[in-house]
Amino acid sequence: MDEQQPRPERGGGVFTPIEIGPLKLRNRVIKAATFEGMTPGGLPSDDLVEHHRRVAAGGAGMTTVAYCSVSPEGLTFPDQMHMRPEIVPGLSKLTAAVHHEGATAALQLGHAGYFASRKASGCRPVGASRVFNLYTLTRPRVMNPADMERICDDFAKATLLTAEAGFDAVEVHFGHGYLLSQFLSPYTNRRQDLFGGSIEARLRFPLEVIKAVRGAAGSKMAVLVKANLEDGFTGGLGIEEAIEVARALEANAVDAIVLSGGFVSRTPFYMLRGDLPVAEMVRNEKKRLRRIGLRFFGRIFVKAYPFEEMFFFEQAQKVRRAVKLPLCLLGGIRSLANIERAMSAGFDLISMGRPLILDPDLVLHMKAGKCDASACEPCNLCVARMEAGGIVCAHPRLGAS
């Protein structure tokens, strides 16, 4: 009688440990940095701690705390976190809770650049070039070398405080139209100096930031980068230049890249494909002018993108073939079949957002064979109400109404 062949592991290896630089994850699932809306007064709340503890208890290998500005200058609204000593105790409570559940924690650091809020920051927004921003209806002040040196220093100081708060990794925001993305994108970078023109020149300042972060992180904290595959519109960053960005990050000792896409001020739902709940967005928008604009022009200016599973897979494969460092695939990953496809294509990690908002225990449920796919429907109601007391699933049948 032939010996029984071992059964292939569910998920194609996603439930196996992995080392990413100095970081050890118990499995390959990362909770994506999705805006939580749980930092009143710019301080981490108990709700924020519990939100990430639940994800950790539910089996994810790592959970990512969403956007924390490296300085007040990079804030997009008054209740957003910016890194400073005063928030370290609250963040330490969060990392301790995540570690207690056996997971690791990352903090996403960034600077909003030209779509920072003047009301929140107290100063005029800065940017790579003087390009009008439809999101905030402002033109930024063009950054000079002194600004770049100051912001590099802000990233380094923020990284040191991130380590002090007990985080295992920092995720530097290179995507979605934030400041470093504004330097990379030809749409927002029209400079004629050393920091504009070719992709090599547009990379110069973002890579200085990476060097500052890498130096501050040292050998004990992993450095991840969230980078765009495409901005999602003509004249923005495209896949061929995104490959050059990935190669440059690999050459500068980044531990992993989280592959994403979209541009907040132009294609905000490029990375949130599915329904466009304009009525709910209007109801929850706090700013009067933006609320009026959404009500009358939301479906004209905010483009919807039909949902499909693994919607970044084809572009991400091109990056996978170009670099050897660990890559994390996100975008419409909903099932074990999706995960197995990603793993077989050579992706080291996968990232989920909306499915883990609906069910923080999804990873454990999949591993135990209780389900093969998320029940999440891409209605985006969680996005529409994310500023109304914190992000939760708001689907009338699946989540909290």
Cα(130)–Cα(213) distance, integer angstroms: 27
Query: Hey, what are 283's tokens?
Result: 């109801």
| Measured CA angle at 51 (ends 10, 36), to 5 deg | 110
Among candidate residues 178, 187, 270, 305, the one labeled active-site is 178
Specify the residue for token string 């963040």: 91
Cα(361)–Cα(366) distance, integer angstroms: 9
3-class DSSP state of 254: coil
Cα(288)–Cα(290) distance, integer angstroms: 6
Does the active-site annotation cover 67?
Answer: no
Q: How many CB atoms are closer than 10 A to CB 397?
A: 9
* Ordered alpha helix ranges (H), 203-256: 204-217, 239-251
- What are the residues whose beta carbons fall under 8 Å from the beta carbon of 110, sequence distance 6 or more? 67, 68, 69, 70, 74, 172, 173, 178, 179, 180
Report CA 157 to chain centroid distance, whole Å.
20
Q: Which H/E stretch holds residue 105? A: strand 104-110
- What are the residues whose beta carbons fall under 8 Å from the beta carbon of 148, sequence distance 6 or more? 195, 205, 208
Residue 68 forms beta bridges with which residues?
109
Q: How many CB atoms are closer than 10 A to CB 298?
A: 18
Pick the closest to residue 116 from 151, 152, 160, 167 (CA basis): 151
Specify the residue for token string 């995104």: 242
**Which residues are known catalytic residues?**
178
